[in-house]
């Protein structure tokens, strides 16, 4: 058994095309698996975007009230790393980006709710690739701009 088979014994991440010929019933089951996987990924992405939004909102509020600064955000990042060792995505720089994410999209009443439910394809300019998800708002902005004849 290979290392990849040990990590993923059902090999769901890498569908195989070596199915027995003439098994259309298998396609039904494979479709169910793919649909469930897509829903799971969407649910995780939505939850993570909501988390990053909420963290950004919290940090933004603390900074606006002049209760927090760079040192406090760095201390928060250290506390998160000690509490959740091995969990990536919560460096001081990433926490600042979460704040930027919130501040960039919260005033846009049309985009704000949409940005919180999209998948990985659009917030790359604001949120780092280290965060497990979040690049959608940029795509929404580009699509909105192109639909209205603007370059974005």
Cα dihedral sign, 115-116-118-123: positive
- 90 within 8 A of 51, measured Cβ to Cβ: no
pTM of the model: 0.60
Q: What is the pLDDT of residues 3-60, one digit of tens each?
A: 544 554 445 555 555 656 668 889 999 999 999 999 999 889 888 988 999 999 999 9
Domain assignments of the chain as residue spans, ordered by start:
26-141
Q: Which residues of 3-19 are buried (b: 16+ CB within 10 A; e: fewer)?
A: eeeeeeeeeeeeeeeee
Q: What is the pLDDT averaged over residues 102-110?
A: 79
How many other C-beta atoms can be found within 10 angstroms of the C-beta atom of residue 105? 24
**pLDDT grade for 144, boundaries at 50, 70 and 90:** very low
- 63 within 8 A of 69, measured Cβ to Cβ: yes
């Amino acid at each position: 058994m290979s290392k990849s088979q040990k990590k993923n014994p059902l090999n769901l991440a890498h569908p195989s095309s070596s199915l027995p010929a003439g098994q259309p019933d298998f396609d039904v089951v494979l479709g169910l698996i793919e649909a469930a996987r897509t829903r799971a990924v969407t649910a995780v992405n939505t939850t993570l975007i909501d988390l990053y939004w909420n963290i950004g909102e919290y940090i933004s509020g603390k900074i606006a009230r002049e209760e927090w600064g760079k040192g406090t955000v760095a201390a928060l990042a250290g506390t998160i790393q000690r509490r959740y060792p091995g969990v990536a995505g919560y460096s001081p720089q990433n926490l600042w980006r979460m704040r930027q994410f919130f501040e960039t999209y919260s005033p846009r009443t049309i985009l704000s709710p949409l940005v919180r439910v999209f998948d990985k394809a659009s917030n790359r300019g604001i949120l780092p690739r280290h965060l497990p998800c979040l690049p959608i708002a940029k795509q929404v902005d580009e699509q909105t701009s192109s639909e209205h004849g603007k370059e974005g």
